[in-house]
Amino acid sequence: MFEKLADIIVNYVEVDRAAIRPESRFMEDLRFTSFDFMSMLGEIEDTFDVEIDQKEAADIRTVQEAVDYLEKLKA
């Protein structure tokens, strides 16, 4: 799940794929804008065939939190 998510992340921000870590914060470390983040959520929904709650997504700060959330949705 982490690897697939990291592959999606590099489509939205200019960051080296190897620099993405579970503890990487979307806004502070990966330089996401709110627009980038929301756009990425749409691709994540399509890729993982899930429905993301916008209010819950607003609480996601790190890549690991996103992975945990996606794993919960897929369970």
pTM over 0.85: yes
Residue 62 is predicted with a pLDDT of 98
Residue 22 is predicted with a pLDDT of 98
Q: Tokens for 1?
A: 């799940």
Tens of pLDDT, residue by residue over 1-44, are 999 999 999 999 999 999 999 999 999 999 999 999 999 999 99
Per the CB < 8 A criterion, the answer to whether 22 and 64 are in contact is yes
Q: Is the dihedral of CA 57, 59, 61, 65 positive or negative?
A: negative
- Picking from 73, 64, 55, 56, the residue whose alpha carbon sits closest to that of residue 26 is 64
Residue type for 33, please? T
